[in-house]
Structure 1
Amino acid sequence: MTSTPAGERDVIDVLTADHRDVTALIAEIWTVQDPMIRRDLTDTAISELVRHAVAEEMYVYPAMRKHLPEGDKAVEHDVEEHKELEEAMKKLEDLDVSGVEFEEALRRLEEILTDHVQDEESDQFPEMRRRIPREELTELAGKVETAKKLAPTRPHPGAPNNELFHKLVGPGVGLVDRLRDKLTGRATR
């Protein structure tokens, strides 16, 4: 996959970096035995993944629908994967990090995420670089970064996975999530 010129990150660079960060966090969870550190790493991974997904749904998916020949189909597939990821994350939130159920749930999250990342990085991202003007990809990077700052930090499997919901209700949900995080001492970035 080709990248943008030095110093000019586009949305694909941002999303790919997110993939690397969350994948690294999950890999680290597997190696840590201390329950408090494991919980903090898990909560951070969940927070990062939720913000990433919300930003994609707000800005990337509309661009995919607009520019990619099979954009609607790709977005529908990705939204289904996001729903699966949210359910897996919600389950992880409530489990004891030292239990077998936690490891099963973490493995399930990792499987769904691996498939999602593979779809995006192998098929969708190269197609986006070919079909979406570079200026738009660069502009989308800024929108995605801003959206991640306001997005919820916890999974909400019952909420709609669409641009309108995230733009109208998402900032309020994000504010409540960040307040809950602060009050409970939950780890997020």
Structure 2
Amino acid sequence: MAPAGPDHGGSGTPEPDTGTQRRLARRLVALQSAHEFAEEIVLWPAVLRHCPAGDALVTTALEQERQLKRTLEELAHISPGSQEFTQCVNTLAGLNRTHLTYEENQVWPRLQDGLTARDTVRLARQWSGARRRAPTRPHPRLAARPVVLGTVGLAVAVVDRTRDGLTAR
């Protein structure tokens, strides 16, 4: 009879596959970083233009995104398989849930009310383009203002993508 344990179908907890965790964490960091960049350069300015009390909506959203980016930055530097890594992933998941709930319940209905069909198509194209040109790492100290993101942010994205290519990320 084989001993019980992770490799033998017993009740033990299997060891984490740290290589897979590292790859998934890097991918999550890249996707989330690009997503937040696109929101900051395209969607939040639209909320300011088209929503009553848009400044309050954007202020809350940007603070949530700053927290997300700080946590993404931490995740990028923590060793997979560690308790700290697991805690960081759980923190990130909670921050994401809070942010998505805020967007879905507070922001998007108000923005939708202020947009025409043409506006919606234009914003979708702009967001998609911004997403493709976005940084692949979080930059929580980079000001979330379109003029900064459109210049410094795009330069940072080129550096990020160059680093990705050099490190096969």
| TM-score, with length taken from structure 1 | 0.79
Q: Which has the higher contact order (CA 8 A, sep 6+)?
A: 1
Matched, 1:136 2:150: no
Task: Report Cα offsets for 1:92-145 as digits up to 9, x if no partner.
Answer: 000011000011111111111100000111221122111111211111111111
Note if 1:169 corresponds to 2:152: yes
User: Could you say what secondary structure the match of 1:38 adopts?
Assistant: helix
CA distance in structure 2 between the aligned counterparts of 1:179 and 1:77, rounded to whole angstroms: 32
Describe the SS at the equivalent of 1:156. coil
Amino acid at match of 1:166: L
- Are the counterparts in 1 of residues 29 and 137 from structure 2 also a CA contact under 8 Å? yes
Aligned to 2:6: none
Alignment equivalent of 1:126, drawn from 103, 109, 122: 109
Whole-angstrom CA distance in 2 between matches of 1:132 and 1:56: 16
Cα distance per residue 1:153-178 (max 9 Å; x no partner): 00112211121111111121111101
Residues 40 and 144 in structure 2, CA contact (< 8 A), matched pair in contact too: yes
1:112 to 2:95 alignment: yes
**Superimposed CA distance per residue, residues 21-50 of structure 1 (whole angstroms, 9 cap, x where no aligned partner):** xxxxxxxxxxx9321111111111111111
- Pair 1:66 & 2:49 matched: yes
Aligned to 1:143, what secondary structure does the other structure show?
helix
Q: Which amino acid aligns with 2:37?
A: V
Give the counterpart letter for 1:100 in structure 2.
Q
Mapped pair 1:183 → 2:166: yes
Moved beyond 3 Å, runs of 4+: none
- Comparing 156-165 with 86-95, greater Cα deviation is found at 156-165
Q: In structure 2, which of residues 58, 82, 106 is the aligned counterpart of residue 99 of structure 1?
A: 82
Q: Which residue of 2 aligns with 1:45?
A: 28
Are 1:90 and 2:73 an aligned pair?
Answer: yes
Moved more, 122-131 or 47-56: 122-131
CA contact (8 A) 2:142 2:153 kept: no
Number of corresponding residues: 155
Gaps of 5+ in 2: 1-14
Contact 2:68 2:95 in 1 (8 A): yes
The reply to whether residue 148 of structure 1 matches residue 131 of structure 2 is: yes
The structure whose Rg is larger is: 2
3-state DSSP class of the match of 1:94? coil
Distance in 2 between the 1:52 and 1:93 partners? 16
Identity %: 29
Of Structure 1 and Structure 2, the greater helix share is in 1
User: What SS does the corresponding residue of 1:169 show, helix, strand or coil?
Assistant: helix
Q: Distance in 1 between matches of 2:121 and 2:66?
A: 27
